[in-house]
Amino acid sequence: MIKIKNFIDTPSQTAGPFLHIGCTPSITGINIFKDELGSTPFKNISLNEEINIKGKIYDGNNDPIIDAMIETWQCDENGKYFNYQGFSRRVTDFKTGEYQLKTIRPGNQINEDGTISPSYILFWIVARGMNRPLITRMYFDENEIKSDVMFKNLNIQDRLKTLIPYTEDKKNFIFDIHLQGKKETIFFEF
Amino acid sequence: MINKHQPLRRFPDYKSSTVRSPENEPLLINFSNSEITGPLFNKNILNENDNNLILNFSKNGEKALGQEIFVHGFVKDENGNPLKDVLIEIWQANAGGKYRHQNDPSNISLDENFGGCGRFITSSDGYYIFKTIEPGAYPYPNRGIEWRPKHIHFSLFGSMFLQRLITQMYFEGDPLIKSCPMVNSIPDINARKLLVGKLDLSKTDEEKILGYRFDIILRGKQQTYFENKIEGS
C-alpha cells in the first residue's frame, strides 16, 4: 500500500570533492572539533579479533576514485547494533585511491521476522560526481549469501561475488568496489 | 520508474556523474537491522562555537571576512514531526569562493580566520542554527568552465542509516541556481526548490546579520521506489 507523505524528503546533492572539510577536517589541517567522528568503529579492538579491510573504488574508466568517503556501519560479534559503536568514516587516499578499515568481524544478525542474515558490513559511499550515495554491503561468505532468503529468488546469482572480498587468511581482506563494467558491484536501494 | 524527487545518479550535463554512477539499477531490497539503526551523537561532542563559523577558526578573536549570515531551520520527518538529536555538519567555501582544502586549485586567497566547517545537534523541537559568512560562487571544470551557485554543504544523521543525507543549501535569488547541473539532476522542479534557503528577516534585528531559513525533511521507513519493487522482496 502506498501511503501519502505530507512532505517530500529533501533531495540529496553530491558531497563534492572537498567533503573532508566537513566530515574529516583534520585531513585538511582543520583541528577545531573535540574529536573526529568515525575514526574507529570500535574502541580497543584486540589483535585477536581485528580484521583489516582495504580496497579501491573504481569509476567507469577503471580509475580509482581519490576523493570518496565511505561510511561503514555494522553490528558487533553477536549480531547486535548499538548506537555508540560500529560506525566508521574512511576516505580514499588522494594519490592511490585506497581506503583502509580496521574493525571486527560482525556476527550473523537476527532480523525482526526471526530469520538470520549472513554477516556483513554496510558501505555508504559519497563523492564528487555522485548525486546520491551508493550503498553496498561487504559479505564474508559467498555460499552463505547464495542461500540467503533475500538473494535466492533474485536473478543476480552471477553478480553476488561482487559483494565478497578477497582473502587468504580471513584476517586481511581486499574489497574493491566497481561502479561500472563487467565487475560492477551490486548496489542497494531501500 | 524513477523517484523524481531525488537526483538522477547519471545526469550527463554533470559530466563526472557519467563515470561515477552504476550502469545497473540499484537492487531494491527490504531494509534490515543495518538500515533501521544508526550511530547517535551526544551533544557533549560539541564545543560552544562549533556552529559559529565566523569565530570557530579565528585567530586572536578576529572574525572571518564576508557578509555575516545565520542559517537556521527545523529538521523533520515526512509527516512533519520534529527530529531531535540530529547531527548536522556543514562545510563551505570562504567569501571569495575558496575552500580550505589542498585539492582546491583556485588561486583566490584563503581567509586565515575561516576554516569553513561547523556542526550542531538539533534540539528537542528539531531546531538548528549556524552563524557563518555567505560563501562565494566559484568556477569548476564541467562542460568547459561552469559556475557553482553559492552553496553550503549539509550532512545529516537521523536516528537510522536510512535517513542519512548529504545535500546542499543554495541561496534565494542566486541567478546561478537555474543553470546548475547538480540542481537540475533532480527531475521534479518543486523538489529542486526545497534546496533553496529563503531570506528570513525574522531574527535579523536581534542578530544584526542576515538570516536564511532552510528546513530539511529526512525520509522514513517508507520505500523511496514503489514502481520497480522486485517480486518476492
Q: What is the pLDDT of residues B10-59, one digit of tens each?
A: 999 999 999 999 999 999 998 899 999 999 999 999 999 999 999 999 99
Q: Give the range of the structural domain holding residue A116, as residue numbers without chain letter.
A: 35-178
A59 within domain boundaries: yes
Contact criterion met (CB below 8 Å) for A71 and A39: no
Q: Does B229 reside within a domain?
A: no
Q: Find, in chain A, the residue whose alpha carbon is nearest to that of B17.
A: A129
Residue A160 lies in a domain: yes
The answer, yes or no, to whether residue B221 has pLDDT greater than 90, is no
Flag whether B35 is in a domain: no
Q: Which helix (H) or strand (E) holds A21?
A: helix A20-23
For residue A111 the three cell numbers come to 532480523
A159: domain CATH number is 2.60.130.10
pLDDT of residue B1: 53
pLDDT digits (tens, 9 = 90+) for B180-196: 999 999 999 999 999 99
Annotated catalytic residue B192: no
Residues of chain B positioned with their CB less than 8 A from the CB of A14 = 14, 166, 168, 182
Strand runs (DSSP E) across A59-184, as ranges?
A: 69-73, 87-91, 98-104, 109-110, 116-117, 120-126, 134-139, 166-167, 172-174, 177-178
Let me know if residue B23 belongs to a domain.
no
Nearest to B7 among A13, A30, A71 (CB): A13
Mean pLDDT over B153-169 rounds to 98
The answer to whether the predicted template modeling score (pTM) of the entire model surpasses 0.90 is yes
Q: Which residue has the cell 531525488?
A: B6
Percentage of chain A exceeding pLDDT 70: 97
Beta-carbon contacts below 8 Å between A and B: 252
Residue of B7, B24, B29 lying closest to A132 (CB–CB)? B7
CB distance A150–B30 less than 8 Å?
A: yes
Compare CB distances from B153 to A15, A28, A84 and report the shortest one's residue.
A15
Number of domains chain B contains? 1
C-alpha cell at A187: 548496489
Q: Which domain holds residue B108?
A: 41-218
What CATH number does the domain containing B173 carry? 2.60.130.10
Q: Would residue B153 show up in a list of annotated catalytic residues for this protein?
A: yes
- Beta bridge pairs of residue B68: B133
As for the ipTM of the complex, it is 0.96
Per cent of chain A over pLDDT 90 is 83
pLDDT band per the 50, 70, 90 thresholds, residue B100? very high
In-domain check, residue B198:
yes
Q: Tell me, yes or no, whether B36 lies in a domain.
A: no
Does residue A190 form part of some domain? no
Residue A26 lies in a domain: no
Note if B148 is an active site residue.
yes
In chain B, which residue's Cα lies nearest the Cα of A95?
B103
- Output Rg (C-alpha) for chain B, integer angstroms: 19
Q: Which residues in chain B are closer than 8 Å to A73, comparing Cβ atoms?
A: 34, 37-39, 161
pLDDT digits (tens, 9 = 90+) for A41-68: 999 999 999 999 999 999 999 999 999 9
Model pLDDT for residues A125-174, shown as the tens digit of each residue? 999 999 999 999 999 999 999 888 888 878 888 999 999 999 999 999 99
Domain count across chain A: 1
The answer, yes or no, to whether residue B9 has pLDDT greater than 80, is yes
Task: Please tell me the predicted confidence (pLDDT) of residue B233.
Answer: 35
Whether B66 is in a domain gets the answer yes
